[in-house]
Amino acid sequence: MPALPFALDIIPLLPHLTRPELSAEERSERSEPRPAEPADVARDIPPVRLPDSDRCQQMATPRQPDTLTTMPQRLPGPLMQKYRLIDTHSLGSGAVARVCRMQDIGTGRELAMKVVEKHPLQIRNMVPQMEREVKVQRRLLHPNILRLHETFEDDTHWYMVLELANRLMNLLSRHPYRRLREHQAGWLFGQVVDGVAYLHQNGCVHRDLKPDNILIVGHCPKICDFGWCAELHDGPRRTFCGTFDYMAPEVIFGEGHGAAADVWSLGITLYEFLTGVTPFVSQSGRNTTTSEAFQLRVHKVDYGFPPWFPSQACHLVHAMLQRYPGQRDGAAKVLQHHWLEAHFQKPKQAGKPPCLEPLPDLPSPVPSQTYPVRCQRQWLHMQAPTSAAASMYPALGLVSIPKGPAV
């Protein structure tokens, strides 16, 4: 009879099988108590039971799986004299920090507090990076850069009291396909460029510009997260840093980079504002941004525009996404582009910011069977392209970028 995959416990349930009888020695061995196993066996170590007070404290400050920082059991005295902690969870967390909601006791104004634990940064040699972030952001005063009010420090943590703002990504997610209208994108992008130009004028480079690192207060975007910032007077930098989708070629290929790397990131950001995606993806259609195919496309500056992409914005993106830093327009020159003059400078001078919420009553740029194309200030329609490039994003219908400036 073949071996049966049954446990011994079910053998008595089978009438045609019987248990083998045990010898006297085997019966005595089974009746004797087994010696105790070593104390270091994991299953014999009882779980640690915390006192009620410690258990409550542990539940109040859990370590988040997406951050290296654990909230301290007690905040510094000077900080608690000026601010009241509202909650530690609603504003989220980053790779090395947690953001809490605070309230100024004197004015009642709500603020954000970025808490960074020292030990994870010390073992990764990232303390100078944190000190540089505080040094740079403390001296930046611009309406489009998140304001750092003051900092505190104790033996285990740094505390940065910041302006309270909302995530720009929350606004983008409310728009169909995460795309902004042309006038909305121009208004937001112009202010971001204004902040970057101010940053460069003060001898700093951000090096991690992307929509995730832009907050918004009302109609005003705020550049935040200066963890990868550097000072330009130190010469070209060679640190591999930032987010792959937004990295300039000179950063990816270790050629030395400066302020022009931010301009490349601005070009990617504007493209994403208007299309909902970043321009460089692998030919397989998967978002494998670290693949050789992706890096080759970045090296060749090989990307496409949807046919409904605004022509003047196409020219501006093309001016920023140049392979070599010296070929790109600086942030100050980008700010003077005629597309930003129409969609940012004029509304700013008139004091009439656009509505940034989705506008369903207007013709939608989201394509279905046809793709709207801006031509002589009229909406025309064309059939969806069937090329291999279009198959990468069926909702976009990408077309190849022209060799020269697209005007």
In this structure, the answer to whether residues 197 and 152 fall within a common structural domain is no
In this structure, the answer to whether residues 184 and 148 fall within a common structural domain is no
Query: Is 40 tagged catalytic?
Result: no
Confidence of residue 354 (pLDDT cuts 50, 70, 90): very high
The residue that leads in pLDDT, 283 or 168, is: 168
Confidence of residue 404 (pLDDT cuts 50, 70, 90): very low
406 inside domain: no
Give the span between the Cα atoms of 189 and 183, in whole angstroms: 10
At a CB cut-off of 8 Å and minimum separation 6, what does 141 contact?
147
Give the span between the Cα atoms of 114 and 157, in whole angstroms: 10
In this structure, the answer to whether residues 140 and 176 fall within a common structural domain is no
In this structure, are residues 81 and 150 in contact, taking their beta carbons and an 8 Å threshold? Answer: no
CATH code (residue 154): 3.30.200.20
pLDDT for the residue numbered 288: 56
The residue that leads in pLDDT, 162 or 287, is: 162
In this structure, the answer to whether residues 139 and 173 fall within a common structural domain is no
Among 111, 143, 162, where does a domain finish? 162
| CA-closest candidate to residue 355, choices 167, 163, 168, 180 | 180
Would the CA dihedral through 129, 130, 131, 134 be positive or negative?
A: positive
| CA-closest candidate to residue 357, choices 183, 106, 236, 196 | 183
pLDDT for the residue numbered 361: 55
In this structure, the answer to whether residues 85 and 106 fall within a common structural domain is yes
394 inside domain: no
pLDDT for the residue numbered 196: 98
| CA-closest candidate to residue 233, choices 302, 136, 311 | 136
In this structure, the answer to whether residues 158 and 171 fall within a common structural domain is no
pLDDT at 50 over 70: no
In this structure, the answer to whether residues 206 and 247 fall within a common structural domain is yes
Neighbours of 63 (CB within 10 A): 12
Give the span between the Cα atoms of 387 and 391, in whole angstroms: 7
Phi, psi (degrees; rounded to nearest 5) at 65:
-65, -20
| CA-closest candidate to residue 273, choices 194, 184, 356 | 184
Report the number of distinct structural domains present in the chain.
2
329 inside domain: yes
Residue positions forming the annotated binding site: 114, 163-165, 225
Among 162, 197, 214, where does a domain finish? 162
pLDDT at 220 over 90: yes
Q: Which range has the worst mean pLDDT, 73-82, 227-236, 264-273, 394-403?
A: 394-403
pLDDT for the residue numbered 132: 93
256 inside domain: yes
pLDDT tens, 11-25? 444 444 444 555 565
pLDDT tens, 29-44? 545 554 444 433 333 3
Average pLDDT, the chain: 78
SS3 of the chain: the string is CCCCCCCHHHHHHCCCCCCCCCCHHHHHHHHCCCCCCCCCCHHHCCCCCCCHHHHHHHHHCCCCCCCCCCCCCCCCHHHHHHEEEEECCCCCECCCEEEEEEEECCCCCEEEEEEEEHHHHHCCCCHHHHHHHHHHHHCCCCCCECCEEEEEECCCEEEEEECCCEEHHHHHHCCHHHCCCHHHHHHHHHHHHHHHHHHHHCCEECCCCCHHHEEEECCEEEECCCCCCEEHHHCCECCCCCCHHHCCHHHHCCCCECCHHHHHHHHHHHHHHHHCCCCCCCCCCCCCCCCHHHHHHHHHCCCEECCCCCHHHHHHHHHHCCCCHHHCCCHHHHHCCHHHHHHHHHHHHHCCCCCCCCCCCCCCCCCCCEEEEEECCEEEEEECCCCHHHHHCCCCCCEECCCCCCC
In this structure, are residues 284 and 261 in contact, taking their beta carbons and an 8 Å threshold? Answer: no
pLDDT for the residue numbered 264: 98
In this structure, the answer to whether residues 120 and 204 fall within a common structural domain is no
Residue positions forming the annotated binding site for ATP: 114, 163-165, 225
pLDDT for the residue numbered 229: 94
Give the span between the Cα atoms of 236 and 228, in whole angstroms: 14
What domain range is 235 assigned to?
166-303+313-356
Q: Which range has the worst mean pLDDT, 58-62, 305-309, 323-327?
A: 58-62
In this structure, the answer to whether residues 190 and 331 fall within a common structural domain is yes
Among 162, 184, 211, where does a domain finish? 162
pLDDT at 106 over 80: yes
Confidence of residue 387 (pLDDT cuts 50, 70, 90): very low
The residue that leads in pLDDT, 304 or 36, is: 304
Confidence of residue 90 (pLDDT cuts 50, 70, 90): confident
pLDDT at 105 over 70: yes
> Rg of the Cα trace of the chain?
29
pLDDT at 283 over 50: no
Give the span between the Cα atoms of 64 and 59, in whole angstroms: 11
CATH code (residue 342): 1.10.510.10
Confidence of residue 234 (pLDDT cuts 50, 70, 90): confident
pLDDT for the residue numbered 96: 87
In this structure, the answer to whether residues 205 and 345 fall within a common structural domain is yes
In this structure, the answer to whether residues 205 and 129 fall within a common structural domain is no
Distance set, CA 286 to CA 23, 91, 277, 283 (Å): 66, 31, 12, 8
The residue that leads in pLDDT, 134 or 386, is: 134
Confidence of residue 27 (pLDDT cuts 50, 70, 90): low
pLDDT for the residue numbered 241: 92
Neighbours of 60 (CB within 10 A): 10
23 inside domain: no
In this structure, the answer to whether residues 189 and 213 fall within a common structural domain is yes
Which of 66, 155, 208, 361 is catalytic? The answer is: 208
CA angle 354, 355, 361 (to 5 degrees): 115
Phi, psi (degrees; rounded to nearest 5) at 330:
-75, 165
pLDDT tens, 147-188? 999 999 999 999 999 999 999 999 999 999 899 999 999 999
330 inside domain: yes
362 inside domain: no
15 inside domain: no
Q: Which range is most confident: 279-288, 291-300, 332-341, 379-388?
A: 332-341
The strand pairing partners of 204, in sequence order, are 231
